[in-house]
Amino acid sequence: MARVLMKGNEAIALAAIKGGVDAFYGYPITPQNEIPEYLSKHLLANGKVFLQSESEVSAINMVYGAAGAGKRVMTSSSSPGIALKQEGISYIAAAELPCVIVSVMRGGPGLGGIQPSQADYYQATRGGGNGDYQLIVYAPESIQEAVDVMKDSFNIADYYRNPVMVLVDGLIGQMMESVDFDYPVKERKLPEKDWATNGIINHPGRRNVANSLYLDPALLEQHNFKLQAKYNQIKKNETRFELVNFDNPEYVIVAYGTMARICRSAIEMLKKDGIEVGMIRPITLFPYPEKAFDQIPKKAKGILTCELSMGQMLDDVLIANNGRHKVGFFGRTGGMVPDPEEIVDAIKSFNERVVK
Amino acid sequence: MLEVKYEKSKGLTDTKLSYCPGCAHGIVHKLVAEALVELDILDRAIAIASVGCSVFSYQFFNCDAQQAPHGRACALATGAKRVLPDNIIFTYQGDGDLASIGIAETIHAANRGENITVIFINNAIYGMTGGQMAPTSLIGQKTTTSQDGRNQPNHGNPIKISEMFATIEGVAYLERVSVYDPKHVLNAKKAIKKAFQYQKENRGFTMIEVVSTCPVNWGMTPVDAMKWAKSDMEPVFPLGIFKDKGAE
Ligand SMILES: Cc1ncc(C[n+]2csc(CCOP(=O)(O)OP(=O)(O)O)c2C)c(N)n1
Ligand code: SF4
């Protein structure tokens, strides 16, 4: 397939089909509606399942049922809707079921607005659900990267038996770009889904159960140790980031998704002004690319965290930096998207932006 | 020679049931298990356990199972049934789970005519959490959160699930039964079997509401509890077939 011009949300939907999705369950919310709209047409036409649920609470629990049945299943939503899904996400993570959740962030808190935002970083990486669980979180910066990540996400989810979140903002969802759907995904030897609750007829002699209840605290602790070991594996194997203009940077920006795109332009503008600025662009938010921070030159003057929020990834930057450099913050929020010039100014006035 | 007169159903595992002595949950488990065996659908059945005293039913039914968050059983059942249309999928839910926190999931599954079976245990109380008021608690019924008795101005009237669901087009079979004597147990079995038979025939949503008991939180002996179910619950929750698309 040659490159095609597509809207972000539709490209994500098509990539899900290429990734082998069997079923979609979701509830309408702006700015992600093109995902279910596209899938409603194309999944049903191909004998797959599409169902508009009565709520996000229901949608994520339908995902639980279908994931437990051993199928490739996804949902998509935006900020207040993802908030409602947190209960189900915690159960799915606890029961170790694979699924993919697309989160197209809009401004918050509350009903907030419908313009692009990155204020759901905590929601994605810290979760609103109960207990010690983690999602594998991808934060692509372009439609092409969203497509590539989306295609791979079902394999990752199946491989680790863990929910994967693809986190974009409304800008990536709504803009158009030319994309190629044919880049190959990494080959993974996927284990048989011998745990699927699809009837004993499909696995004679064994009852399969999808469950998250362990009333015995000793057993529940063991279960948590097992989950933690898996998250450590994921940290070891799946951490992804990109280093931009990292030859000899005077300052380093840390930004992901749409904000990273804006920072790319700012970095070019700063170059013209004779200021070399590098960028760490996390592609996975969990696992967070802490190791990338080891590559920041000792003599760098500081790290500027740039987000479409009041400073959420900033926590992870501070942890990863571990006191080595001055850390500053620049953020716009509520759906306001900065021009590259604002980032240029923020670097030039770095000392006023230092938080630690 | 000794003859085996009574055997545990093959539809139940060897795990000891966790229900209190004399609780109707145990009787209904047996009826469901027998129905699955007699219809020869146990090996393609998936039980969706809910949150309540029956939370461990995923350990009791001798088939695959999923354990749902509180109230979400019908959503899990929908998700699974849509991708596994040839399997037999049923939920087993209490009145707090189905009629309170999970009412939306249940109504919409019914309205879509999901081809699943719901076993609804109405014991007019929250059993597992220690006897709080349920949406089905009777007027005047004393619970730990309605200590002077449920009253209409404050709490509303007991919610009548079967009456409500009878108005929903997607419902194929709906009967309210009880298990307070052998005659009623036999009828309950017949109803449960019919619901699963309908699912086998892809007829749509089926639900059996069981007027059940909670001797422990009602503060009664099992025998008195059965009597109270008949004398006090049945007038509010009359038994009978509320919908039968097969008979129409
Ligand atoms: C989200 C959530 N809220 C509350 C609870 C606590 N809880 C456990 S069981 C239950 C009520 C169960 O009552 P019912 O459905 O009537 O079943 P029974 O125990 O009577 O069989 C509640 C409120 C929970 N587990 N999850
Ligand atoms: S608490 Fe009530 S409903 Fe629960 S098992 Fe005991 S008697 Fe049955």
User: SS3 for B184?
Assistant: helix
One-letter amino acid of A16: A
Q: Mean pLDDT, to the nearest integer, of A16-44?
A: 97
Identify the CA nearest to B37 among candidates B66, B8, B4, B59.
B8
- The answer to whether the CB of B53 is under 6 A from ligand 1 is yes
Identify the CA nearest to B171 among candidates B99, B98, B120, B117.
B117
pLDDT at position A1: 63
- A2 falls in which pLDDT band (50, 70, 90)? confident
How far apart, in whole angstroms, are the C-alpha atoms of residue A14 and residue A17?
5
How far apart, in whole angstroms, are the C-alpha atoms of residue B246 and residue B233?
28
In terms of residues, how long is chain A?
356
> How high does pLDDT run on average in chain B?
96
Residues A112-157 pLDDT 10s? 999 999 999 999 999 889 999 999 999 999 999 999 999 999 999 9
DSSP state, residue B71: T
* A-chain residue closest to B76, CA distance: A65
pLDDT at position A72: 98
Looking only at the bridges linking them, the beta strands covering B45-49 and A176-179 are: unpaired
- The tokens describing A37, both together, are 């709209």
pLDDT at position B202: 98
Q: Does B105 contact A at CB distance below 8 Å?
A: yes
Residues B133-183 pLDDT 10s? 999 999 999 999 999 999 999 999 999 999 999 999 999 999 999 999 999
Contact A65/B69, CB-based, under 8 Å? no
Q: How far is B226 from chain A (nearest CA, A)?
A: 30
Contact B63/A199, CB-based, under 8 Å? yes
Which residue has the CA at smallest separation from atom 3 of ligand 1?
B70
The answer on pLDDT for A46 being more than 70 is yes
Ligand 1 atom showing the smallest separation from residue B51 Cα = 9
How far apart, in whole angstroms, are the C-alpha atoms of residue B94 and residue B71?
9
The answer on pLDDT for B1 being more than 70 is no
- The answer to whether the CB of B25 is under 6 A from ligand 2 is yes
* Number of Cβ atoms within 10 Å of the Cβ of B129: 14
Q: Is the pTM of this model over 0.80?
A: yes
Q: What whole-number percentage of chain B has pLDDT above 90?
A: 95
Looking only at the bridges linking them, the beta strands covering A241-244 and B45-49 are: unpaired
Residues B78-114 pLDDT 10s? 999 999 999 999 999 999 999 999 999 999 999 999 9
- The tokens describing A302, both together, are 């500081």
What's the Cα-to-Cα distance from A355 to each of A321, A337, A352, B243, rounded to whole Å?
A: 13, 22, 9, 66
Query: What are chain B's domains?
Result: 25-247 (3.40.50.970)
Query: What are chain A's domains?
Result: 4-238 (3.40.50.970), 243-353 (3.40.50.920)
Question: Could you report the predicted ipTM of this complex, rounded to two decimals?
Answer: 0.96
Contact B76/A65, CB-based, under 8 Å? yes
Contact B13/A207, CB-based, under 8 Å? yes
Identify the CA nearest to B78 among candidates A242, A291, A317, A57.
A57
How far apart, in whole angstroms, are the C-alpha atoms of residue A29 and residue A113?
11
What's the Cα-to-Cα distance from B52 to each of A26, B28, B210, rounded to whole Å?
A: 27, 15, 15
pLDDT at position B5: 67
User: SS3 for B165?
Assistant: helix
Sequence-ordered list of residues with C-beta below 8 angstroms from that of A284, at least 6 positions apart, any chain: A136, A137, A138, A139, A238, A239, A240, A241
Sequence-ordered list of residues with C-beta below 8 angstroms from that of A204, at least 6 positions apart, any chain: B43
Which residue has the CA at smallest separation from atom 2 of ligand 2?
B214
Beta carbons of A284 and A278 less than 8 angstroms apart = no
Interhelix angle for A8-18 vs A143-160, to 10°? 40
Closest ligand, as measured to the CA of B126: 1
Identify the CA nearest to A6 among candidates A22, A23, A18, A21.
A18
H or E segment to which residue B30 belongs: helix B24-38
Task: Find the B95 Cα to ligand 2 centroid distance in Å.
Answer: 12
In terms of residues, how long is chain B?
248
Ligand 2 atom showing the smallest separation from residue B217 Cα = 2
How far apart, in whole angstroms, are the C-alpha atoms of residue B105 and residue A44?
23
DSSP state, residue A293: G
Residues B102-112 pLDDT 10s? 999 999 999 99
Contact A91/B69, CB-based, under 8 Å? yes
Q: Mean pLDDT, to the nearest integer, of A39-44?
A: 97
H or E segment to which residue A136 belongs: strand A136-138
pLDDT at position A58: 98
Contact B72/A57, CB-based, under 8 Å? yes
The answer on pLDDT for B224 being more than 90 is yes
- Best residue for ligand 2 mutational test, from B57, B212, B217 (most atoms within 8 Å of Cβ): B217
- A179 falls in which pLDDT band (50, 70, 90)? very high
User: Among partner residues A22, A64, A198, which is closest to B76 by beta-carbon distance?
Assistant: A64
Q: Mean pLDDT, to the nearest integer, of A191-204?
A: 98
Beta carbons of A141 and A149 less than 8 angstroms apart = no
H or E segment to which residue B240 belongs: strand B240-244
Taken in order A326, A137, A39, A85, the sign of the CA dihedral is negative
> How high does pLDDT run on average in chain A?
97
Which residue has the CA at smallest separation from atom 5 of ligand 2?
B19
